[in-house]
Structure 1
């Protein structure tokens, strides 16, 4: 398969989220599976969240007419802070967020439930595209979907980022990590009733955060493609991008008849919804490599406690005995270190256990996923760094442009959904056709072959 045809076949990049285990995961999956306007569970959940933020202080100005200046000042502060960060890096400071690659992969996995529904809070405005007051929000949503171009669809970009790092199976995530994604999905199904809150949430989410700039820079240094994050830096700009459109949407939708201040208060509550859940910086700050390694081995223990032979004994116990009971993992890792199987703070290649995991003829090849292998590698390496990484600062590489789809085409089964969609639409009247196109742009659909085709058709329709 050519690169071009691979890029235009999003199905091969599907990311498998963990089976729902907690209440937030369950709601998240339910709202993906049931994109019904006015969804009762979405409404109940959103009301609870709005009640929670009702008493929180809000940084927005008291007058909506001051938002443009506020947004510009926010942008200036962030860019000034980023300039200070870059100056520190040039002076020899280390990476602020991701000192090791394992830190970065943990971050990418942990924010996946939010990134994989990117833009979902605006889904509910699509039926109202003819109303000039919400049209900028419609355009923002379509841009989140890449206007139907796979190489620019934000969810597909994040799926491919995860897949490129061997993190496509996002399992065993904490339930709390699904809260922001669930909020976005709920807002997207309740736009008719909660439009001020949708506008307020959009205002907050589209402002340029410092962590986005730093994340893009440090991922690039770790040779992890930062394009998804760089795209958001440019598309959310405060001059003509989503941040500017978000401010304008507040002003355009202020009621001329009725209580404009009450409307703005609801906008402010929607803005505060961004503060709920586990944010990006909290994810980064909470990473503990040793605990992650212990948890990873505990997961392995549950399925591997009886598959090892009794040939090898460590401190008089077989591997099966070490792995036979809960709580034994820490002792097992300590025994591996005491007996020379793992040599911490050195090149992992010098550890016999690592050579069982990676390398030619590795007896345990494939036992650990790429993410798990990175955890193990960085834990063993500890303070050791290869010579190529001893420089305190490495200049940023030029960002790689997204692969072009120009001239690419699909045939046969890969193109079946698009062809069948065209045939289906031909047999519909204008109202049903538009409804079908909107349905295929739901958060769980828009990145599929049919969803991309529907987005392109819809985008052309509303030009």
Structure 2
């Protein structure tokens, strides 16, 4: 590891645990709160903890060194970010994203984790009456936007995907779900793994360098970076989540068992290093391979939809699309026959004009993300030309403005990407919610019922948002 080890820099894999359970299946079962997932989640978590125990850990050996560790880490990340900005100002290229489609690829690759943002703390809501848990419960409520749809982190991320043309997340491997499965497993087994939950939370709430760089470069590429900017501000070490996480490590330490407790905290902290992390997702992007995958997928639906009058290299379009393995060669033939003019403004390519714009013959066939892939592949060197101040090229700047216009239109309809109650049933759903809370025999029962509605799968729904607001108000009265 580097002089300042960053648990986010390189994520370890979870192949041992993956052999014992289908991670995607476990993720889905935990997300839906299926009873049968309990035993599997504990086994998965234990396997992950065994793996985490063998990883390097940059936490101090004793809790009395945590304050200095947080301060030193915060200062180091800040200095590294200043160095990054100075390099960009001097003409260095973007560190993470080569183009906008690369950024959208990243948004999808980390979506399984973002869809369960904060979930590792859900299992602690039952401790609302114990002031020692107050900081951790407050972190969870803040992840949920205190019950406001516009501030709920999961709702926010779903709107971001919808606005970016990525509402249908591309197929992902099991390991993309590993980190989310860990977080959901911690929620399901919080009582048994409390020190590990506390340690995981301590690690997750520290501000990583990659978050600062990601926020900067997404904004530069015309992708709404507000979700990431929020995490930059709420994770601050002064009064934010990082401070609350540190205080919780101390506040929940059991007298007489400090070292065993802290050893488990350290192991939980290292769970952050498992699964596919931010940098790995970014580094896995291959523009042509991703475009070829998308077109091969589309070919299954398009191989019977084209007339035979148009031929490319002596073959009809339907013939080319009849075998997904021919897609890569088909792209080359489109280029060779002048349908695609690479390394130029895509508007000069006839194929691009067929798929982009409301009057295009294939309008609606490709999602926003898929069109961006094609746009960036055609642009090639034209888009990646000279950057006097390491910013966007004229082509990228034009596309950024276009993307912002599309995003503003999409955001107005962005709530469609959120789980919601049909308009006709909304009133009935709210009446059932009110009746369930009114039937609670006492305050403790009401709080427990509200907590049940604030699960990772439900907190961003209308009922979940209302439950969060009520839970927060009643917590303040405790």
- The question of a shared fold, defined as TM-score above 0.5 by the shorter chain, is answered with yes
Question: For 1:442 and 1:455, how far apart are their aligned partners in 2?
Answer: 10
Moved more, 378-387 or 306-315: 378-387
Aligned to 1:19: none
1:388: Cα distance to partner? 12
Question: For 1:339 and 1:388, how far apart are their aligned partners in 2?
Answer: 28
Summarize deviations over 1:411-436 as a string: whole Å, max 9, x none: 97545433431233112212432221
Summarize deviations over 1:254-302 as a string: whole Å, max 9, x none: 2212x31111111111011000000001111111101101111111112
Match status 1:151 vs 2:137: no
Match status 1:191 vs 2:195: no
Summarize deviations over 1:339-391 as a string: whole Å, max 9, x none: 00111100111111111101352111111111111011101101113999875
Match status 1:72 vs 2:71: yes
Moved more, 453-462 or 416-425: 416-425
Question: For 1:96 and 1:462, how far apart are their aligned partners in 2?
Answer: 43
3-state SS of 2:192 partner: coil
1:175: Cα distance to partner? 2.0
Aligned to 1:420: 432
Aligned to 1:137: 136
Please give the residue correspondences for 1:72-91 in structure 2 after superposition, counting only pairs within 5 Å: 72-91=71-90
Aligned to 2:243: 244
Aligned to 1:54: 53
1:453 to 452, 466, 469: 466
Contact 1:37 1:190 in 2 (8 A): no
Question: For 1:455 and 1:67, how far apart are their aligned partners in 2?
Answer: 32
3-state SS of 1:150 partner: coil
3-state SS of 1:39 partner: helix
3-state SS of 2:325 partner: coil
3-state SS of 2:178 partner: helix
Question: For 1:33 and 1:369, how far apart are their aligned partners in 2?
Answer: 28
Aligned to 2:117: 118
Contact 1:341 1:352 in 2 (8 A): yes
Question: For 1:93 and 1:36, how far apart are their aligned partners in 2?
Answer: 52
1:73: Cα distance to partner? 0.7
Aligned to 1:351: 349
Aligned to 2:315: 317
Please give the residue correspondences for 1:13-52 in structure 2 after superposition, counting only pairs within 5 Å: 23-34=22-33, 39-52=38-51
Contact 1:307 1:320 in 2 (8 A): yes
Please give the residue correspondences for 1:242-391 in structure 2 after superposition, counting only pairs within 5 Å: 242-257=241-256, 259-385=257-383
1:35: Cα distance to partner? 6.0
Summarize deviations over 1:118-163 as a string: whole Å, max 9, x none: 0000000000012222211111111111111111111011011111
Contact 2:90 2:389 in 1 (8 A): no
4+ aligned runs moved over 6 Å, structure 1: 386-390
Contact 1:216 1:226 in 2 (8 A): yes
1:38: Cα distance to partner? 8.7
Contact 1:37 1:124 in 2 (8 A): no
Aligned to 1:104: 103
3-state SS of 2:372 partner: helix
**Cα distance, 1:370–1:38 mapped onto 2, change above 3 Å:** closer
Match status 1:440 vs 2:457: no
Question: For 1:300 and 1:87, how far apart are their aligned partners in 2?
Answer: 43
**Cα distance, 1:38–1:381 mapped onto 2, change above 3 Å:** closer
Question: For 1:329 and 1:165, how far apart are their aligned partners in 2?
Answer: 25
**Cα distance, 1:451–1:389 mapped onto 2, change above 3 Å:** farther
1:170: Cα distance to partner? 1.3
Contact 2:23 2:174 in 1 (8 A): yes
Question: For 1:329 and 1:415, how far apart are their aligned partners in 2?
Answer: 50
Please give the residue correspondences for 1:391-410 in structure 2 after superposition, counting only pairs within 5 Å: 392-393=390-391
For these two proteins, the number of residue pairs brought into alignment is 431
TM-score (norm 2): 0.86
Aligned to 1:7: none
Summarize deviations over 1:195-254 as a string: whole Å, max 9, x none: 000001001100000111111111111222111111111101001111111111111122
Moved more, 32-41 or 104-113: 32-41
Summarize deviations over 1:15-36 as a string: whole Å, max 9, x none: xxxxxxx922111110011166
TM-score (norm 1): 0.89
